[in-house]
């Protein structure tokens, strides 16, 4: 059995760890509130812009001349895994790495793969692999804004337009709630046409476009794509804080359980030590009486 000093040191260590995890949970909760507000405000705008673009393209048969919608034989693929810059968020980062590896192994086996990591964890993981790495944008979360994310989106869009990549895929965590993140492996380019009843109705709608269809398509398409890219990054950012908050809450609970066990062990050790001292005193007193 450990002595009192060792048990006391372990208790102090666990108490310090519990204080840190509590503080990290509170910080993550504050950051989550802001990140959640951003993604909640972004979702309707992104969806509406995408719907407008889909309706205009369908109604005017304009999808054929949109360079970002052109489908070709897939030989070169750009994969964009979105992770965090830091750890201590459970399986948040490892799930993205696993999903990326699964996509490479199952969907793009034999293809020429390039990785554009967003987040330091993705960069540190995939730079050890044999794939070419685009290392210009992994620090987007240092100063997360539309402008910083737009540069990464433009890189992917320009690469696709120039024929450097035949397909661009995003792998990220979609925010559902504090405890739940949904892993998405989503085609970014070429633009995927969503087939639904609303779109079918939109095809029959007669639109009056000013100043011209081509101008609206040229303006809307890049903007819509950048918004979709930014939305995926915001989803991942909110998911990260939710995952870290959950992980730190669980760590705090585990520390509390461990403290109960250690304090019980401390009391038992202390009781045993006192009992031994009493026995030694009694034995010494009996020895003196016998002599």
Work out the average pLDDT over 180-195: 84
Work out the average pLDDT over 59-65: 53
Domain spans in the chain, listed from the N-terminal domain onward:
20-247
Q: What is the pLDDT of residue 84?
A: 95
Contact 35, 241 (CB under 8 A): yes
Q: What is the pLDDT of residues 276-290, one digit of tens each?
A: 888 888 888 888 887
In this prediction the pTM is 0.83
Q: What is the pLDDT of residue 1?
A: 52
Q: What is the pLDDT of residues 161-180, one digit of tens each?
A: 999 999 999 999 999 988 88
Backbone angles phi, psi at 206, to 5 degrees: -95, 110
Is residue 202 pLDDT above 50, yes or no? no
Place of tokens 């001292």: 277
Residue 255, both tokens: 């520390």
Alpha-carbon distances of 283 from 13, 76, 269, 270, 288, rounded to whole Å: 38, 85, 21, 20, 9
Work out the average pLDDT over 57-72: 68
Contact 63, 78 (CB under 8 A): no
* Active-site entry in 77, 89, 103, 262: 89
CATH classification code of 20-247 = 3.40.1380.10
pLDDT class for 57, splitting at 50, 70, 90? low
Catalytic annotation on 224? Answer: no
Contact 192, 63 (CB under 8 A): no
DSSP 106-159: IISTTSEEEE--BSHHHHHHHTTSSS-B--SSTTGGGG--HHHHHHHHHHHHHH
Share of the chain above pLDDT 90, in %: 59
């Amino acid at each position: 059995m450990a002595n009192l000093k060792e048990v006391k040191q372990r208790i102090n260590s666990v108490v310090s760890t519990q204080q840190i995890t509590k503080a990290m949970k509170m910080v993550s909760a504050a950051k989550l509130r802001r990140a959640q507000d951003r993604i909640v405000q972004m979702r309707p705008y992104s969806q509406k812009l995408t719907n407008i673009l889909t309706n205009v393209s369908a109604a005017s048969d304009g999808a054929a001349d949109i360079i970002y919608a052109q489908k070709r034989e897939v030989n070169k693929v750009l994969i964009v895994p979105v992770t965090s810059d830091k750890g201590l968020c459970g399986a948040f980062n490892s799930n993205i790495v696993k999903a990326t590896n699964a996509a490479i192994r199952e969907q793009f086996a034999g293809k020429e793969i390039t990785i554009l990591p967003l987040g330091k964890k993705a960069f540190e993981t995939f730079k050890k692999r044999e794939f070419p790495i685009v290392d210009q944008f992994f620090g987007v979360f240092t100063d997360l804004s539309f402008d910083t994310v737009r540069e990464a989106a433009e890189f992917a869009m320009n690469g696709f337009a120039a024929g450097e990549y035949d397909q661009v895929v995003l792998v990220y965590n979609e925010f559902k709630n504090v405890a739940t993140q949904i892993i998405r492996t989503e085609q970014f380019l070429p633009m995927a046409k969503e087939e639904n009843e609303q779109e079918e109705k939109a095809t029959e709608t007669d639109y009056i476009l000013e100043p011209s269809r081509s101008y609206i398509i040229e303006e809307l398409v890049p903007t819509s794509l950048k918004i979709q890219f930014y939305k995926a990054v915001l989803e991942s950012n909110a998911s990260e804080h939710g995952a870290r908050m959950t992980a730190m809450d669980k760590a705090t609970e585990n520390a509390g359980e461990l403290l109960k066990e250690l304090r019980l062990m401390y009391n038992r050790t202390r009781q045993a030590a006192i009992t031994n001292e009493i026995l030694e005193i009694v034995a010494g007193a009996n020895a003196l009486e016998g002599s």
